[in-house]
Structure 1
Amino acid sequence: MNKYRKFVGIFLGIELILIAISNVLFFIMAHINEPEIRKTQEKTGTIYKVIYTQTDHKTLILMNVGMGIMFLLSVFLVMYIGKKILKPFHRMMSLTEELAKGNLSVPIKAEKSKFFGRFLWGMDMLRDNLESSREKELELQKEKKTLILSLAHDLKTPLSAIRLYNKALSENLYDTPEKRAQVYAGIDKNVTEMEGYVTEIMAASRENFLNLTVEMGEVYLSSVMEYINAYYTDKLSNLHTTFEVESYLDCLLCGDSNRLIEVLQNIMENALKYGDGKCITISFTTEEDCCLITVKNTGCTLKEDELPHLFDSFYRGSNVGNAKGSGLGLYICRQLMHMMDGEIFAEIKENEFLASVVIHKV
């Protein structure tokens, strides 16, 4: 802001100097004009008139009024820019830095400025979501650690029993077949108990670790496809990838509009990332109670025996190459579709990969 104030001072100062110079030049030009001699012929004879140029005060006043108005407009303009644009922007300079540092607790002050009001509102929503996500993550980590510690403690009991049984067997303390059978049964019971604890740990590590939510409602197929079509038409055109959306009958679907778009975007991104970039096609099949949306891309190098694992969390196929990813895209798609009472599956046909989404109609 200090630099801007300095610039404003110089700019307005130059305007005032130009106004002053204009006035000085006007007066100089008015006084250096020599008297003008005019000759007129009348009936009585020839008359010579000497005409002296006088300063036109009206012109001077109008000139100064015009320049004064321009100067006032300049003052208003620079003040408006400083107050409505530069001042809010100056306050926003540290926002992204604070968010990057993790300072999420202090709300971002809203601005009524039409230039940055919506932006600041969005930044505050982002801050609030980041803070909420961090709190949920910390709470989830706390719950997981508590569960793991509890299960680890519970595992000690059967492990101790198995160790005692093993020591007794090694020292031949059980000399009859009946006693040894009881020991074997006890070991089997403790092993079964440990397997249960391990299953609980695995379930806890997988259970909704992404905190996915779905808001069920009604959505027209056309509104979803209009968004997908608008989003990818230009993008794929720039990549020189043929993009085709086959004709379809519009229908009312039962699900979450935003989540369904997210699923289709995940599939489209996979088609871009792992296909050959030649052609991507979206086709439709409708049944009595459901709609099938299929995304097909050319250049599939995935093996058939990998298809059952594609929707597992953190699984990445043999065709990933150097492409970056977490192995969660299709896993998230399946979780979202199940939460919308739908399904998603994949298949390979003639070197083409097909991912199909099944969603119920209303």
Structure 2
Amino acid sequence: MKPNQSIRVSHMLRGIEDPVLIISSDKLIVLNANRKAIDTLTNGKASQLRGLPLQSAYGGERLEAFPKPLPAAFLLPVSQNGNIALINFRVSPLKIEGKKYWLAIGRKVEQAEELQKRLQDLEQEKSLQQMKVQFMSMTSHEFRTPLTAISSAMDLLEARLELDGQLSSFHRLQLRKMADEIFQLNSMLDEVLALSRMAGNNWEPDRKAVAPEQIIEALRYQYFSQRKDERSLLLSVEGEPRPILADRDQLAKVFTNLISNAFKYSTQKNPSVKLSYKKKKLVITFRDHGIGIPESDLPYLFTSFYRGSNVDGIEGTGLGLSIVKTFVESNRGTISVSSGVNEGTTFTLVFEDFADAI
């Protein structure tokens, strides 16, 4: 090959991590080889490879010429540190300035012992993964039981104080604070439980006809009413409501997270949710007027454990939006976000699978 051709070929060889040979089409001379091929076939001795005929084996005492014609694939036994390995080369034609060469790219053939070891490693990793999933699930459920008992006791206490005429504004404020903290803990446990199901591939949706506005209305009453800051969730519906096909539990977790974030990251105005029923799709927008999200954070917003650069001092695990995106997409929806620092944030969900269209 001409000097400029050699330079081009050398650049190409350096860009491939597997063993690569450039072989002449007539006499099967190894014209060039990358460093991986030299190390693998001749233990780093380029003089025993380049410029010589392709051999039927490398690393042994006796070298035999490779039979012609060159097949589309061939195996080369290689002796390395007293062990024999097989390199499987795939051959394809290569043309440089009208002249034909053979490009052979190799990959080590794993022996039965190596395959068995890899299988054992995979089985062990799978077992550890299952143990992690089971532990996360068990822990979440174990924490939820006492939290439910505490919540029930608080409701009874509030009812009794009110019945006895002793429910002062101080008592009401403290009970609301406790309720808020319990809600935050339950939300965190929901995230951990969802993450464990996702890790165990146990989160496929059970899609049935659901009414999103009813889910949001129930969440607003159960979790986002009687707040200590006296803010409330504004809900508006545009168009004729129609049920969509979705997993009710997953949809509830999506809505809970987005509504909770809207309250968490804003302090003055009321967050809002708008459902727009169009002919072929449902568009749901969650909007707040809070601290917003820096532009540099937006590409990573749905990444697990990622938190915005301007949320110091605000509790959170960084898991919520990752789970939200997974659940939205598993229900064949899309999610997008628009935001600016101190300009608020808007999340937009779009679902196109109406139940009455199936």
**Which has the higher Rg, Structure 1 or Structure 2?**
1
More strand by share: 2
More helix by share: 1
TM-score for both structures, normalised by structure 1: 0.44
